[in-house]
Amino acid sequence: MRGFYGVVDNPASIAEAVALAGQLSVDGGACAVQLRVKRGSTRAFVELARALVAAVAVPFIVNDRLDVALVAGAAGVHLGQDDLPLAAARRAAPGLLIGVSTHDPQQAAEAARAGADYLGFGPIFATATKENPDPVQGLEGLALAVQAAGNVPVVAIGGITPAHAAAIAATGAAAACAISAVNGAPDVASAARVIATAFRRG
């Protein structure tokens, strides 16, 4: 888990999801691709996830839904603070990669001790992608979270752009996730590569 962490966020169709996932992973060099779906039916979510499992060569991760991850054959699931507890998810799916969203250094330390495979941490900067975001943590908060997490990789998220990549990498974070700034860029793959390259240099 190092470099650029890509997210396919609420795609309008399977074709759109597969095309974006290819740009992020094949052309953009993402180390992982997550599917985030906040609306629609579980059936549609599963269909999207199965399509991306077949299309993505890097670890494919489902946001929030362990059931969808298991049915689709995903490599992992990413859990929020209000989702299924990590221990329960681990018992249900011992072989699955499990990431946990954290929003302050204390949560990062707790999730690392509990056995998360990696941590999402943020928001680092103000973000418009998430409704009711948690308080901004900044680069200082990110550096503290990296220390608190020990050997567990930390993926920075929230308001990140390619211009922030070097500063994010300098904190010791393993990866950075930029959704709006990459998925909405004129050249998605190029924007993703800028972030991935910053971590290869770091």
Q: What is the CATH number of the domain that holds 89?
A: 3.20.20.70
Which residues form the domain of 137?
3-201
What confidence score (pLDDT) does residue 33 get? 98
d(CA 73, CA 66): 10
What confidence score (pLDDT) does residue 172 get? 97
Split at pLDDT 50, 70, 90, the class of 127 is: confident
119 bridge partner residues: 100, 154
pLDDT for residue 68 is more than 80: yes
Split into its structural domains, the chain has a count of 1
- From the list 2, 36, 50, 90, the catalytic residue is 36
Split at pLDDT 50, 70, 90, the class of 86 is: very high
pLDDT for residue 202 is more than 60: no
Residue 38 designated active-site: no
- From the list 2, 50, 90, 130, the catalytic residue is 130
| HEC profile of 90-121 | HHHCCCCEEEEEECCHHHHHHHHHHCCCEEEE
**DSSP classification of residue 77:** E
- From the list 25, 65, 101, 193, the catalytic residue is 101
Q: Which amino acid belongs to residue 164?
A: H
Residue 39 designated active-site: no
Pair of tokens at residue 123: 């928001």
What confidence score (pLDDT) does residue 133 get? 77
